[in-house]
Each structure stands twice: as structure tokens, then as C-alpha cells.
Amino acid sequence: MQSPDWDHIISLRQYQNSDLPFMQELYASTREEELALTNLSLKEKQAFIAQQFSAQYMHYTQNYCTDNFNIIEHNGKAVGRLFVDYWRREIRVVDISLVSSHRNKGLGTYLFNKLFKKAKQSSRSVTIHVEHNNPAKRLYERLGFVVKSKTNEIYLLMEWRPKD
């Protein structure tokens, strides 16, 4: 299957407060499988998602520069988020999430390849935290990321380095 010509149909724009409902819904979609294993009611799941999203959003905005916190749009419709912070020696992917209809279609690879190009041009690495059991970890490994360190029992810090 041939990948779409992402350059002509994907754009990034800086997120705005009006994007928060979309971002919370996107966050919820990334937790569906996990929450399906619980005995929580729908109302309890919604409260849990709202609390967790709020905590994550607060952490991101308090600990990272938000200048490159972008909404991914496909033909003008929001389909994900790509939050990146540019440091002196690395490009930190703070968060990348796609709506389920856009997962496993090459869009994530396309976005990472754009970051790799920037990293090569500026002699930086690209890093990202990922949970041990997150299926995206396989994508990161295919793209050349390697484990740099374990943050705790849940998260790995993975790093991609430009080849000389």
C-alpha cells in the first residue's frame, strides 16, 4: 500500500485553548483499551480521563516550552497533536497522538522523519518518553530509536541519533 502524499494534506498549527476539548477526546482515545479492562462506570471513566488529561496538560505547559505544541490537521481537520520542545542538544517529542482513524497509516513515520531532518540539520538527537507496553514503542524502534534510560518502572526514554 502506497502512503499518501502527506506533504499536501497534513499541516501543523499551534494549539489554542479552543483545542482543549479535542485534545481531551484524543487523550481519552489513547486510554480506551486500558480502561476497558476496568470495572469503572462510564461516568467514572469520564471523570478519570478528565482528571488525568488535566494533570498531563498542566505538566506539559509548566515544564516545556509550548511554542511548538501543534495540532495535526488532515485537510484542515484536527487528527492529532505533536508537542515538541527544542533544546540545545536534542529535540524532545513531548507528546504525539493521532486519532484512531489515522493510526498505522504512515503519518507518525512521516512526522518523525520531518523531525529527524531538523535534528540532522542542527546536529541534535530526537528523544521521547514511552511506556514499556505502549504499542508505539515498536514504531520508535523501527525508526531507529534506542533506549537511553529508564525513567521509572513505567517509562523509557528513547533516543534517535543522526547517522554520521
Q: How far apart (Å, rounded) are the C-alpha atoms in residues 126 and 11?
A: 20
> In Å, how far are 1, 32, 91, 104 from 72, measured between CA atoms?
22, 21, 18, 15
Q: How far apart (Å, rounded) are the C-alpha atoms in residues 156 and 164?
A: 25
> In Å, how far are 62, 64, 110, 128 from 11, measured between CA atoms?
26, 22, 12, 21
How many angstroms from the chain centroid is the CA of residue 87? 17
Q: What is the pLDDT of residues 56-112, one digit of tens each?
A: 999 999 999 999 999 999 999 999 999 999 999 999 999 999 999 999 999 999 999
Q: How far apart (Å, rounded) are the C-alpha atoms in residues 48 and 42?
A: 10
* Helical (H) or strand (E) element with 95: strand 90-98
- HSE at residue 72, side-chain half, CA atoms within 13 A, is 23
| Cβ–Cβ < 8 Å for 85, 94 | yes
Q: Is the pLDDT of residue 35 over 90?
A: no
Average of pLDDT values for 44-57? 95
Q: Is the pLDDT of residue 133 over 60?
A: yes
pLDDT band at 33; cut points 50, 70, 90? confident
pLDDT band at 25; cut points 50, 70, 90? very high
Q: How far apart (Å, rounded) are the C-alpha atoms in residues 57 and 11?
A: 22
Q: Is the pLDDT of residue 44 over 60?
A: yes
Question: Which CATH entry fits the domain spanning 9-160: 3.30.1330.60, 3.40.50.1700, 3.40.630.30, 3.40.50.970?
Answer: 3.40.630.30
The reported pLDDT for the residue numbered 1 is: 52
Neighbours of 156 (CB within 10 A): 21
Average of pLDDT values for 25-50? 90
The secondary structure of residue 133, as a DSSP letter, is T
